[in-house]
Chains A and B, each alone.
Chain A
Amino acid sequence: MTFTKTLPASRGLPLAAMGVVALLAALFLIPVVIGDEFVYHIFITICLFAGLSTAWNIVGGYAGQLSLGHAMFYGIGGYAGVILMNMGISPWLGMFVGAGVAALVAVVVSYPCFRLQGPFFALATIAFLEVFRVLALHFRGLTGGAMGLMIQLKLGWEWMVFRERLPALIIAFGLMLVCLAVAHLIRSHRLGFYLVATRERESAARAAGVQTVKVRLIAVAVSAALAAMLGTFHAMYLTFIEPAAMFSLSFSIQIAMFALIGGIGTIYGPLLGAALLVPVTEFARGMLGAEALGLHGFVYGVVLVLAVLFMPNGIMGALQRFTARRTGGEEQAVQAGPVVAAARTAESPEERPAIGREVMRVENLDKHFGGLHVTNNVSFSLREGEILGLIGPNGAGKTTVFNMISGFLQPDSGSVSVLDREGRFQNPVTPGDFAALGVGRTFQIVQPFAAMTVEENIMVGAFYRHHDVNDAREAARETAHRMGLAPWLNAEARGLTIGGLKRLEVARVMAMEPRILLLDEVMAGINQTDVRRAIDLMLSIRDTGVSIIAIEHVMQAVMSLSDRVIVLNSGEIVAEGKPHDVVRDPDVIEAYLGKDFAHAQY
Chain B
Amino acid sequence: METFLQVVANGLMLGGLFAIISIGLTLIFGIIKVVNFAHGEFLMAGMFLTYLITTQLGLHPYASVVVVAPALFVLGAVTQKLLIQPLLSARDEHVQIFATVGLSTAMINLALLIFGADIANTPSSGLRSSIQLGPVRILEGQLYILICAALLVVGLEFFLRRTQTGRAIRAVAQNRAAAQLMGINVNWIYVLSFGIGAACVGLASSLVAPLYPTSSTIGTYFVLTAFVVVVLGGLGSIPGAFVGAIIIGLLDSLAGFYIGSDLREAVVFGVFLVILILKPSGLFGTRLKLSHIS
Contact = CB atoms under 8 A, between A and B. Distances in A.
Contacts of B260: 138
B111 to A, nearest CB: 7
A44 interface: no
B110 A294 contact: yes
B222 interface: no
A394 to B, nearest CB: 14
Contact of A128 (B94, B107, B273): B273
Contacts of A402: 294
Interface in B252-275: 260, 262-263, 265-266, 269-270, 272-273
Chain B CB within 10 A, most for which of A60, A68, A294, A297: A294
B290 A203 contact: no
Contacts of A312: 90, 95
B101 A293 contact: no
A407 to B, nearest CB: 10
A294 B111 contact: yes
Given A116-B280, A256-B98, A293-B117, A399 B294 contact: yes
A444 interface: yes
Contacts of B291: 202-203
Chain B CB within 10 A, most for which of A124, A256, A307, A450: A124
Contacts of B55: none
A120 interface: yes
Interface SS of chain A: helix, strand, loop or mixed? Answer: helix
Contact of A309 (B86, B93, B116, B216): B86
B251 to A, nearest CB: 14
Interface SS of chain B: helix, strand, loop or mixed? Answer: helix
Contacts of B266: 131, 134-135, 138
Contacts of B262: 134, 137-138
Interface in A536-555: none
Contacts of A303: 102
A505 B137 CA distance: 67
A308 B98 contact: yes
Given A134-B262, A308-B102, A295 B293 contact: no
Contacts of A371: none
B67 interface: no
A127 B224 contact: yes
Nearest to B34: A119
A403 interface: yes
Contact of B94 (A1, A131, A301): A1
Contact of B97 (A119, A203, A305, A520): A119
Nearest to A123: B227
Contacts of B216: 294
Interface string A129-157: 01100110110000000000000000000
B105 A123 contact: no
B228 to A, nearest CB: 8
Interface string A109-128: 00011011111101110111
A292 interface: yes
Contacts of A115: 277, 280, 290
Contact of B105 (A301, A307, A309): A301
B293 A124 contact: no
Interface of A: 1, 60, 64, 66, 68, 112-113, 115-120, 122-124, 126-128, 130-131, 134-135, 137-138, 202-203, 249-250, 253, 256-257, 260, 264, 292-298, 300-305, 307-309, 312, 399, 402-403, 408-409, 443-445, 447, 450, 520
16 contacts: A117-B93, A119-B93, A120-B231, A127-B227, A127-B272, A127-B276, A131-B266, A134-B263, A138-B260, A264-B94, A302-B106, A304-B101, A308-B99, A312-B90, A403-B293, A444-B294
Given A118-B93, A124-B276, 15 more contacts: A117-B93, A120-B280, A126-B224, A127-B227, A127-B276, A128-B269, A131-B265, A134-B265, A260-B94, A292-B113, A296-B109, A300-B102, A304-B106, A308-B99, A403-B294
